[in-house]
């Protein structure tokens, strides 16, 4: 979970000397009809302090000890946690740099993604780009191909941009959280993880797991997504972080939330911090209460519903080139799925009829690729293949898929030009290249739907024509 560290409301904690805590007026800006004005925050500082209290000094020391001991004996073995022996100072420095790079890659991949899914992607990534210098020489297309299927592709682009920036400025990964935050795509959480785990800086990390653990330990009944409450969680995490083993402690806190103090089925009987848990104490006293009441559930933002007509354009080969090719279009460099390849598609207004979708598709093909269905090609086949829903974090996208098989009248390069000379990047690839490309999950699903449709509906060249069935009815004499 990637959370921003809001500016502190209360004075800095005496236990935290290495975190820049500046005072800020207890106000926030809002914009109404273009006019900027200040309004009071929803939660006052005094209310926050009452709702989310700090641990005592004794509790802090005990929590550090029990969590680190538990982590030493129970942590999962993950590839980005691997360490190796080094015999001299140079090897040690190289090892630290390598670990910082590995932590960076893994933490970016783990945002909004399950650990088991990330492991294979991480191993493939590190095999292809073992150091930040290797990554800096990669192209965005290469990075997207390795990333394909992980989603949230903006993360991959930021990783590449960050690597290029670091290498251009000398090649050494910054060693403090404050300097790491200057790298594209690195915020408070990722900078804290890299600085504490790789460079042993005593700074906190706060993700969804940490919020859940602290919310239950302190029985926080406030909205955990409120910026003032989030700020308080960061302060408490800063108070708890162990100064001698900051990286291990931060991982212990996250590991506890991921494996024991889970959202729906916490295993309180095996939790090393159960004696400090206020939520568990309340649940034991009150039969109507449960540990899972904390943190409280926020109101989910309603997803926007979009509809898209996707046209898989297959161009048949001529006499010289027997294999057919598929048309792929590159998405814009900004916005959703920026810079990724997809089949030609166009947004349509709601649950439109097939005829309206085809009209919109024909208009897109004519305008952007100069494929005029009526003039520049012959339609060999045009069929609706099916439909499915793809869920993004904020969008519910319904895709209507059709297969359009064309025989072009002329050379390919004559057709693929934009009418108004706007840049639109496209390419034609054969089925073998398409199968090995790093495509998004939805584009891969579209292609698989088309392949199944062709196997089921279209007879192969070697399939003999079906024989006529005998008429079972007999004539009466």
Supply the pLDDT for residue 77.
95
Q: Does a structural domain hold residue 371?
A: yes
Q: Does a structural domain hold residue 69?
A: yes
Number of domains in the chain: 2
Supply the pLDDT for residue 279.
96
* 309/262 same-domain check: no
Q: Of residues 130 and 351, which shows the higher confidence score?
A: 130
Dihedral over Cα of 329, 334, 339, 342: its sign: negative
What is the average per-residue pLDDT within 56-60? 94
* 235/326 same-domain check: no
* 72/199 same-domain check: yes
Last-in-domain residue among 269, 293, 317: 293
* 134/260 same-domain check: yes
Instruction: List the structure tokens of 467.
Output: 């024989």
What is the average per-residue pLDDT within 372-379? 84
* 180/267 same-domain check: yes
| Region of poorest pLDDT, from 194-198, 210-214, 383-387, 465-469 | 465-469
Cβ contacts of residue 272 below 8 Å, gap of 6+?
Answer: 66, 67, 69, 70, 256
Q: Does a structural domain hold residue 89?
A: yes
* 270/126 same-domain check: yes
| pLDDT per residue as tens digits for the range 463-476 | 444 444 445 444 44
Question: Following CA atoms 435, 440, 444, 445 in sequence, which dihedral angle do they give, to the nearest 10 degrees?
Answer: 170
Q: Using 50, 70 and 90 to split pLDDT, how confident is the model at 460?
A: low
Name 379's bridge partners. 406
DSSP 3-state of 236: helix
Q: Tell me whether the omega of the peptide bond preceding residue 295 falls within 30 degrees of 0, making it cis.
A: yes
Q: Does a structural domain hold residue 180?
A: yes
* 233/349 same-domain check: no
Q: What is the mean pLDDT of the chain?
A: 83
Q: Does a structural domain hold residue 148?
A: yes
pLDDT at 239 over 70: yes
Cβ atoms of residues 330 and 423 within 8 Å: no
Catalytic residue, chosen from 107, 201, 255, 402, is: 107
* 289/319 same-domain check: no
* 253/377 same-domain check: no
Per cent of the chain over pLDDT 90 is 58
pLDDT at 197 over 90: yes
Cβ atoms of residues 310 and 344 within 8 Å: yes
Cβ atoms of residues 305 and 396 within 8 Å: yes
Last-in-domain residue among 251, 267, 293: 293
CATH of the domain at 319: 3.90.79.10
* 332/445 same-domain check: yes
pLDDT at 262 over 90: yes
Instruction: List the structure tokens of 264.
Output: 């729906």
User: Catalytic residue at 402?
Assistant: no
Q: Does a structural domain hold residue 20?
A: no
CATH of the domain at 118: 1.10.340.30
* 334/253 same-domain check: no
Q: Does a structural domain hold residue 442?
A: yes
Q: Using 50, 70 and 90 to split pLDDT, how confident is the model at 414?
A: low
Per cent of the chain over pLDDT 70 is 79
Supply the pLDDT for residue 27.
39
- Report how far apart, in Å, the C-alpha atoms of 464 and of each of 10, 219, 453 are: 80, 72, 19
> Can you give the residue range of the structural domain that contains 349?
304-457
Q: Using 50, 70 and 90 to split pLDDT, how confident is the model at 53?
A: confident
Last-in-domain residue among 293, 317, 347: 293
pLDDT at 226 over 70: yes
| pLDDT per residue as tens digits for the range 115-149 | 999 999 999 999 999 999 999 999 988 998 899 88
Q: What pTM does this model have?
A: 0.76
Cα–Cα distance for residue pair 208/213, rounded to 1 Å: 9
* 275/326 same-domain check: no
Supply the pLDDT for residue 323.
76
Cα–Cα distance for residue pair 401/328, rounded to 1 Å: 14
Q: Does a structural domain hold residue 3?
A: no
């Amino acid at each position: 979970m990637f959370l921003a560290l809001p500016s502190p409301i209360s004075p800095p904690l005496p236990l935290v000397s290495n975190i820049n805590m500046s005072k800020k007026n207890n106000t926030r800006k809002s914009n109404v009809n273009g006019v900027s004005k200040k309004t009071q925050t929803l939660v006052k500082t005094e209310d926050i302090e009452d709702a989310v209290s700090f641990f005592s000094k004794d509790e802090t020391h005990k929590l550090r000890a029990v969590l680190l001991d538990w982590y030493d004996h129970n942590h999962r073995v993950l590839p980005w946690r691997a360490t190796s022996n080094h015999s001299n100072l140079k090897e040690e420095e190289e090892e630290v740099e390598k670990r910082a790079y590995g932590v960076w890659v893994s933490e970016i991949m783990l945002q909004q993604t399950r650990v088991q899914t990330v492991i294979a992607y991480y191993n493939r990534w590190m095999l292809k780009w073992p150091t930040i210098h290797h990554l800096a020489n990669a192209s965005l297309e290469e990075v997207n191909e390795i990333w394909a299927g992980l989603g949230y592709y903006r993360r991959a682009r930021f990783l590449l941009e960050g690597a290029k920036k670091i290498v251009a400025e000398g090649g050494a990964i910054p060693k403090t959280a404050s300097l790491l935050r200057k790298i594209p795509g690195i915020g408070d959480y990722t900078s804290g993880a890299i600085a504490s785990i790789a460079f042993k800086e005593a700074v906190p990390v706060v993700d969804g797991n940490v919020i859940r653990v602290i919310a239950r330990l302190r029985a926080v009944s406030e909205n955990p997504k409120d910026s003032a409450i989030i700020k308080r969680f960061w302060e408490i995490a800063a108070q708890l972080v162990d100064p001698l083993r900051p990286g291990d402690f931060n991982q212990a806190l996250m590991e506890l939330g991921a494996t024991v103090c889970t959202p729906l089925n916490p295993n309180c009987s095996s939790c090393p911090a159960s004696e400090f848990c206020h939520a568990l104490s309340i649940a034991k006293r009150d039969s109507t209460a449960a540990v899972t009441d904390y943190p409280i559930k926020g109101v989910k933002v309603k997803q926007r519903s979009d509809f898209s007509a996707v046209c898989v354009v297959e161009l048949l080969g001529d006499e010289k080139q027997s294999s057919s090719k598929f048309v792929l279009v590159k998405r814009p460099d900004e916005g959703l799925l920026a810079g990724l390849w997809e089949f030609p598609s166009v947004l349509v207004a709601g649950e439109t009829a097939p005829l309206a979708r085809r009209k919109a598709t024909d208009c897109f093909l004519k305008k952007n690729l100069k494929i005029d269905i009526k003039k520049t090609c012959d339609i060999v086949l045009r069929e609706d293949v099916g439909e499915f829903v793809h869920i993004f974090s904020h969008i519910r996208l319904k895709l209507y898929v059709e297969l359009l098989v064309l025989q072009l009248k002329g050379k390919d390069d004559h057709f693929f030009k934009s009418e108004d000379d706007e840049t639109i990047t496209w390419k034609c690839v054969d089925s073998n290249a398409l199968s090995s490309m790093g495509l998004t999950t939805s584009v891969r699903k579209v292609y698989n739907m088309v392949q199944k449709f062709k196997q089921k509906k279209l007879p192969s060249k070697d399939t003999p024509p079906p024989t006529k069935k005998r008429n079972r009815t007999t004539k009466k004499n």
